Amino acid sequence: MDGHQKATDAKSGPALQKAPPVLRALPLMLLLAGLACAYALELHHYVSLGWLADQRQALLDFVALHSVGAAALFFIVYVAVVALCVPAASVLTIFAGFLFGWLAGGLLVLAAATLGSCLLFAAARSMFGDVLRQRAGPFLARFSEGFSSHAFGYLLVLRLVPLFPFFVVNIAPAFFSVSLRSFAAATLVGIIPGTFVYAWLGRSFEQLIGDAALEGRPLALADFLTPQLTLAFTALAAIAALPLVVQAVRERKAASRAGDD
């Protein structure tokens, strides 16, 4: 984290702490209220793989007739899905590749996912940003310090590892001293591989629907995923983690030499 980021956090941290608890909780409460309304109205069914598969021709026709409006509507829906923690981001990314093509769909998802993630992170940070610093024990306090010092690298690894749910990685950094700029940059860079891979998978949407129909079962997200794909994402995460490992070794050696002196 550079000096400018630390100065920014130093200014924003006290401001958040001085704000009334109700005011700090308001952004997150609004998101939770939006999530409750979405589920109450059963809007999550309209971003499910089954519904999208059933409506694919109508949606393709709509995109053909109203390409700009369709892209704008998709962008808004995707931002809302990510910000409200609706578990449909992977499905929508695949469908973006199917509707708009893997390149245009991937770019659309990159922008929408980054914005939605930042909205959720900012809302959670406004409410929980100082909790860990006030109540954590020595171990978690040291972990928080290390996380904030190497926020971009840590977040990049978390984004690349396929084991962590997307919404968890959006919320977890809010408990640490991570700047919005670091969070946004790591999110944008970290989701690039997965976004374009999933958008590319959208090209096989029709074929997989046909294969599932022949087997007499509905299409599932697992049909798009392979062990090789998971292995590839894990390898990317390992590569991204190497600089963190090297930096940790260097810091430990420097601390050891300082102790000897």
For 124-147, what is each residue's pLDDT tens digit?
887 765 554 555 455 455 556 666
pLDDT at 61: 95
pLDDT in tens, 46-91: 777 888 888 889 999 999 999 999 999 999 999 999 988 888 888 8
Q: At residue 121, what are phi and psi to the nearest 5 degrees?
A: -60, -45
For range 215-221, the mean pLDDT:
74
pLDDT at 236: 64
Name the least confident of 30-34, 163-167, 171-175, 239-243: 239-243
Query: In the chain, what are the domain boundaries?
Result: 3-260
Across 223-236, b (16+ Cβ under 10 Å) vs e yields bbeeeeeeeebeeb
Whether the Cβ atoms of residue 80 and residue 116 lie closer than 8 Å to each other = yes
Tell me the one-letter amino acid at 256.
S
Residue 212 has pLDDT above 90, yes or no: no
Whether the Cβ atoms of residue 174 and residue 141 lie closer than 8 Å to each other = no
pLDDT in tens, 5-54: 444 444 444 444 555 655 666 766 777 777 778 777 767 777 778 888 88
pLDDT in tens, 169-209: 888 787 777 888 889 998 998 888 888 888 888 888 888 88
SS (H, E, C) the chain: CCHHHHHHHHHHHHHHHHCCHHHHHHHHHHHHHHHHHHHHCCHHHHHCHHHHHHCHHHHHHHHHHCHHHHHHHHHHHHHHHHHCCCCCHHHHHHHHHHHHCHHHHHHHHHHHHHHHHHHHHHHHHHHHCCHHHHHCCHHHHHHHHHHHHCHHHHHHHHHHCCCCCHHHHHHHHHHCCCCHHHHHHHHHHHCHHHHHHHHHHHHHHHHHHHHHHHCCCCCCHHHHCCHHHHHHHHHHHHHHHHHHHHHHHHHHHHHHHHHHC
| Of 111 and 258, the one with more pLDDT | 111
Describe the crossing of helices 151-160 and 227-260 by its angle, rounded to 10 degrees: 160
pLDDT at 10: 44
Rounded to an integer, what distance in angstroms lies between the CA atom of residue 156 and that of residue 209?
Answer: 33
User: Average model confidence (pLDDT) for the chain?
Assistant: 75
Angle, vertex CA 136, rays to CA 130 and CA 140, nearest 5: 110
pLDDT at 178: 80
pLDDT at 54: 86
Going by C-alpha positions, the residue among 87, 83, 101 that lies closest to residue 49 is 87
Tokens of 35: 């999530």
Instruction: Enter the pTM of the model.
Output: 0.74
pLDDT at 248: 61
pLDDT at 28: 66
